[in-house]
Structure 1
């Protein structure tokens, strides 16, 4: 396990759902901006939900999860939430343009 994966495992185990979801949203936002410099990505959260939305690669997207779902995904693995969101983005027509070290960690760990 490399250092980034070790840190991510620690984060998934110890951060609260809102904080962890915000970190994951930041990682996905950075990746989308690498693919599309004009991407716009927002994160909102309330008492019991997490909303990730915006526009990238000419497509609008919205992913909403309850904080209980975020907790379940955190328990599945350190990149399970990222993976879930990327699959949702793909279903909305936002494709992965190429594999990066971050995306390799998301899909192959």
Structure 2
């Protein structure tokens, strides 16, 4: 999957926080579907945002406060993606190298060799 920094920069400027989170979750889901179609992603808003990745009976959960979302959104173009992927990986989600530049951009540490 490929991404474009110029487009991401524009999206950060015009999108609301929650819409941006939904967009990033959709990208993560598309990447996961390249590996296995059974992955599903859910976003829930309680006091904080809850992102849940489901694969069969396996669940991975990431919690974000509104403040964390705002900070990550403006800290870097792919800061939110990186935070979500690393939290999922810390819970045991296996990340494979993907086609395109998305994972290489978001998780450069897995491409170092």
TM-score, normalising length: structure 2 = 0.81
Equivalent residue, structure 1, for 2:72: 73
Equivalent residue, structure 2, for 1:55: 54
SS of the residue 1:62 aligns to: strand
Q: Structure 2 vs 1, CA of residues 66 and 32 (structure 1 numbering), >3 Å: closer, same or farther?
A: same
**Runs of 4+ residues over 2 Å off in structure 1:** 56-59
Equivalent residue, structure 2, for 1:19: 19
Q: Does 1:92 align with 2:91?
A: yes
Count of residue pairs brought into register by the alignment: 105
- Deviation digits for residues 39-94 of structure 1, max 9, x if unmatched? 12211224x52211032386310111012111100111111000000000100111
Task: Determine if contact 2:48/2:66 at 8 Å carries over to the other structure.
Answer: yes
Aligned mates of 2:51, 2:59 — CA distance in 1: 11
Task: Determine if contact 1:9/1:77 at 8 Å carries over to the other structure.
Answer: no
Q: Structure 2 vs 1, CA of residues 57 and 87 (structure 1 numbering), >3 Å: closer, same or farther?
A: farther
SS of the residue 1:88 aligns to: helix
Aligned mates of 1:37, 1:53 — CA distance in 2: 16
Equivalent residue, structure 1, for 2:111: none
Stretches of structure 1 that go unaligned for 5 or more consecutive residues are none
